[in-house]
Chains A and B, each alone.
Chain A
Amino acid sequence: MRWIGLLTLMFAMGSAQAFGLGDLDKLSKGLKKAKEIKEDTKYLRGAMDEDEERKIGRDIAATLLAAAPPVDDEALQLYVNQVGRWVASQSERPDLEWTFGILDTDSINAFATPGGYVFVTKPLFLLLNSEAELAGVLGHEIAHVVEKHHIIALQKAVGTKYLMKGLLKAGEKNMDDDDVEVLDKVLGAGKELYTKGLDRKDEYEADRNGVVLAARAGYNPYGFLDTLATLNTIDPSDKSLALLTNTHPSTTDRLEALDPVMDKRLGKYVEQKNAGNRFRQYKASLLQVAEN
Chain B
Amino acid sequence: MRWLLLLSLFLTQLAWADPAWLVRDTQLRDKPSFSAKRVKPLARGAEVDFIKRSGGWIQVGVPDGKKVKKGWLRSYEVRQDKQYASISSEEGQGQSSAIKTLARSTSSLFGSRASETADQNVVATIGVRGLSEEDLNKAKPDFDRVDDMAKWVVSKKKAKSFAKTVKLDEQKIKYIEVKDGEKD
Contacts and interface: CB of A to CB of B under 8 A. Distances in A.
A2 B137 CA distance: 40
Contacts of A252: 24
Interface stretch (B12-20, B64-72, B97-105): B97-105
A10 interface: no
B145 A218 contact: no
A265 to B, nearest CB: 5
Nearest to A122: B109
Contacts of A29: none
Contacts of A35: none
B4 interface: no
A95 to B, nearest CB: 7
B131 A67 contact: yes
Interface of B: 23-24, 34, 44, 55-56, 74-77, 79, 84, 87, 91, 95-96, 98-99, 102, 105-106, 108-109, 123-124, 126-133, 135-137, 139-143, 145-150, 152-156, 158-160, 162-163, 166-176, 178-184
A287 B178 CA distance: 40
Contacts of A225: 56, 74-76
Contacts of A216: 170-173
B124 A232 contact: no
Instruction: Identify the 8 closest CB pairs spanning chains A and B, nearest first.
Output: A105-B130, A218-B168, A62-B141, A85-B159, A68-B130, A225-B76, A107-B131, A257-B183
A246 interface: yes
A218 B172 CA distance: 10
B132 A232 contact: no
B56 A78 contact: no
Given A106-B130, A239-B124, A273-B168, A263 B163 contact: no
Contact of A81 (B140, B153, B182): B153
Contacts of B179: 2
A2 B171 contact: no
B105 A290 contact: yes
A8 interface: no
Nearest to A269: B171
Contact of A62 (B34, B126, B143): B143
A208 B178 contact: yes
B99 A235 contact: yes
A134 to B, nearest CB: 13
A94 B145 CA distance: 24
A160 interface: no
A74 interface: yes
A222 B158 CA distance: 26
12 contacts: A58-B146, A85-B153, A104-B109, A108-B102, A127-B102, A131-B166, A191-B139, A205-B184, A208-B175, A212-B176, A232-B24, A235-B91
Given A218-B171, A263-B55, A273-B167, 6 more contacts: A103-B130, A108-B102, A123-B109, A209-B176, A218-B163, A264-B176
